[in-house]
C-alpha cells in the first residue's frame, strides 16, 4: 500500500516538468517574436540642398543636391511661382537635379523630391528656395542682325554686351546658332564685350538662321551675372558683293559669280585712304547728314577739312565713318580724281542704283593692302582665314 502514493508523487513531478518544458519553449518562442519586431524598417528621410551664396540664396546655374536615406530617389520636380514646371534632369546616383538652363535670378521656386522605400511606399519632401539677387549684372546690349531681317550672305552674328565678360566660355556656352542648311561655323571673341559667329564660307542663299542666347542666370565671372534670354531669326536673301579698286577707280558689282555692273568711283585722297579689306554692309540710309566733326576732322566752318551737308544713298561700311554714297558735288571728278576723306564716291544715278541693289550683310572688298581695316571697325570678320577664325574656339 505504501508504494502507490510514491508512484503518484513521481507521476505528478513528471507532469510538472513536462509543463515547465512547454512553458519554457513558449517563452523562448515569445522572445524570438519580440526580437523580430525590433528589426522593423528604419524611417526614411529626404534632404534637399541647393548650392547657395553667403546669404543662403541659391545659385541659379548649379545643380540642386537631393539625397534619400533608407529610400531610393525617384523624382525631383521644380516649379516656378506661377506653377509652371522647370525642365531639368535627375541623376539618382549622384543625387543631383540639374536645370536644362539656369534658373532666373531673384526668383522663387518650389522643389519637391520623391523617393521610394523598400516596402514600395512613396515619400516626398518640399522646399521653397530663392535664387540670388546680384548687384552686378550684364546683358546683351545688341544682337545683330535684328530678328526678322533679310540679309546678305556675308552677315556675321554679332553679340555686344553691356559690360566686360570675364568668363567668356560660360557665356559663349549659352549662345547657339542653327540654320536650315547646317553649315559649319564658329564663335570668336573680338573683345570681352563682343563675340561674333560666322560660317566657314558664306551663308547659302535662302538659308534661315536662328540665334539663341539663354543668358539668364549664367555666371559671367566672379560676382557678375548675366540676364535675359533672346531668340533672333534672319534669312539670307542676297549674294551681292562688290570689289572696289582704288587704282582703277572702279567698283565691280556681282550677284553670285555674275558681274552685273562696273561703276566709276573716287576714293580717299592723300592722307585719307579708304580702308582696305573685306567690309560688310552694316546698314544703309537714303539720306544722312554728314559732318567732318563726327569723324575726327575739323569742327570749324571755313576750315579746309570742314563739311556739314546732306548726303544721299548712303551704304555704311565702318564705324569710323566709311560709306559708299552719292557725291553729286564731285560728278566732274568721279572716276578721275581721289578726293574723299575715305568714303567711296559715286555719281547720283550709280549711287541710287547701288543703294537699291545691296543689303546689310553683303560684302564689299576694297583692294588696298596698305591700309587694312581692323576687325572691330565694322564687321571685319572675313579678314581672317577660317583657320585663324576658328582658333582657339571650337566650331559650333
Decide if pLDDT at 378 tops 70. Answer: yes
Q: What is the pLDDT of residue 307?
A: 83
Q: What is the pLDDT of residue 69?
A: 93
pTM of the entire predicted model: 0.82
Share of the chain above pLDDT 90, in %: 80
Domain spanning 136-238 has what CATH number? 2.60.40.3710
- Residue 138, C-beta contacts closer than 8 angstroms, at least 6 positions apart: 161, 162, 163, 165, 220, 224, 225, 226, 227
Q: What is the pLDDT of residues 289-310, one digit of tens each?
A: 988 888 788 898 888 788 888 9
Return the half-sphere exposure (C-beta side, CA atoms, 13 A cut-off) of residue 268. Answer: 18
Decide if pLDDT at 3 tops 60. Answer: no
Q: What is the pLDDT of residue 9?
A: 52
Decide if pLDDT at 395 tops 90. Answer: no
Per-residue confidence band for 281, with pLDDT thresholds at 50, 70 and 90: very high
Length of the chain equals 396
**The domain over range 45-130 is classified in CATH as 2.60.40.3780:** yes
Q: Span 316-340, mean pLDDT?
A: 95
Q: How would you class 252 by CB atoms within 10 Å of its CB: exposed for 0-12, middle for 13-18, buried for 19 or more?
A: middle
Q: What is the pLDDT of residues 123-176, one digit of tens each?
A: 999 999 999 999 999 999 999 999 999 999 999 999 999 999 999 999 999 999
Decide if pLDDT at 33 tops 50. Answer: no
Q: What is the pLDDT of residues 73-120, one digit of tens each?
A: 999 999 999 999 999 999 999 999 999 999 999 999 999 999 999 998
Q: Determine contact, residues 158/137, Cβ cutoff 8 Å.
A: no
Q: What is the pLDDT of residue 293?
A: 87
**Is 240-382 the same fold as 45-130?**
no
Per-residue confidence band for 18, with pLDDT thresholds at 50, 70 and 90: very low
In 3D space, the residue among 221, 115, 129 whose CA is nearest the CA of residue 167 turns out to be: 221
Q: What is the pLDDT of residue 41?
A: 64
How many C-beta neighbours within 10 Å does residue 40 have?
A: 7
Decide if pLDDT at 36 tops 80. Answer: no
What kind of fold does domain 240-382 have according to CATH? L,D-transpeptidase catalytic domain-like (2.40.440)
Cis peptide, bond prior to residue 145, ω within 30 of zero: yes
Decide if pLDDT at 321 tops 90. Answer: yes
Q: Where are the domains of the chain?
A: 45-130, 136-238, 240-382
Decide if pLDDT at 267 tops 90. Answer: yes
Decide if pLDDT at 24 tops 50. Answer: no
Amino acid at each position: 500500500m505504501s508504494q502507490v502514493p510514491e508512484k503518484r508523487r513521481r507521476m505528478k513531478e513528471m507532469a510538472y516538468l513536462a509543463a515547465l518544458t512547454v512553458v519554457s519553449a513558449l517563452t523562448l518562442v515569445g522572445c524570438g517574436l519580440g526580437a523580430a519586431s525590433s528589426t522593423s524598417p528604419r524611417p526614411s528621410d529626404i534632404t534637399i540642398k541647393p548650392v547657395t551664396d553667403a546669404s543662403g540664396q541659391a545659385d541659379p546655374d548649379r545643380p540642386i543636391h537631393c539625397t534619400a536615406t533608407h529610400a531610393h530617389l525617384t523624382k525631383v520636380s521644380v516649379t516656378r511661382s506661377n506653377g509652371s514646371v522647370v525642365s531639368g534632369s535627375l541623376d539618382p546616383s549622384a543625387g543631383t537635379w540639374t536645370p536644362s538652363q539656369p534658373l532666373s535670378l531673384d526668383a522663387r521656386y518650389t522643389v519637391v523630391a520623391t523617393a521610394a522605400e523598400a516596402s514600395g511606399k512613396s515619400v516626398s519632401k518640399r522646399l521653397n528656395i530663392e535664387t540670388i539677387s546680384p548687384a552686378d549684372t550684364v546683358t546683351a546690349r545688341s544682337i545683330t542682325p535684328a530678328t526678322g531681317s533679310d540679309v546678305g550672305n556675308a552677315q556675321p552674328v554679332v553679340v555686344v554686351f553691356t559690360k566686360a565678360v570675364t568668363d567668356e566660355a560660360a557665356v559663349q556656352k549659352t549662345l547657339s546658332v542653327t540654320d536650315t542648311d547646317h553649315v559649319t561655323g564658329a564663335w570668336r571673341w573680338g573683345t570681352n564685350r563682343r563675340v561674333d559667329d560666322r560660317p566657314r564660307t558664306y551663308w547659302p542663299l535662302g538659308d534661315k538662321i536662328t540665334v539663341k542666347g539663354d543668358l539668364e542666370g549664367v555666371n559671367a565671372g566672379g560676382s557678375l551675372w548675366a540676364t535675359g534670354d533672346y531668340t533672333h531669326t534672319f534669312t539670307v536673301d542676297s549674294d551681292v558683293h562688290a570689289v572696289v579698286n582704288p587704282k582703277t577707280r572702279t567698283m565691280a558689282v556681282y550677284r553670285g559669280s555674275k558681274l552685273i555692273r562696273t561703276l566709276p568711283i573716287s576714293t580717299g585722297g592723300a592722307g585719307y585712304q579708304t580702308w582696305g579689306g573685306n567690309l560688310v554692309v552694316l546698314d544703309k540710309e537714303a539720306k544722312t547728314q554728314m559732318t567732318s566733326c563726327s569723324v575726327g576732322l575739323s569742327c570749324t566752318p571755313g576750315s579746309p577739312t570742314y563739311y556739314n551737308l546732306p548726303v544721299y544713298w548712303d551704304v555704311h561700311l565702318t564705324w569710323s565713318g566709311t560709306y559708299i554714297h552719292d557725291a553729286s558735288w564731285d560728278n566732274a571728278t568721279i572716276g578721275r580724281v581721289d578726293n574723299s576723306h575715305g568714303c567711296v564716291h559715286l555719281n547720283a544715278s550709280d549711287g541710287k542704283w547701288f543703294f537699291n541693289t545691296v543689303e546689310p550683310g553683303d560684302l564689299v572688298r576694297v583692294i588696298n593692302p596698305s591700309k587694312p581695316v581692323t576687325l572691330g571697325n565694322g564687321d571685319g570678320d572675313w579678314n581672317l582665314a577660317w583657320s585663324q577664325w576658328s582658333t582657339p574656339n571650337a566650331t559650333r
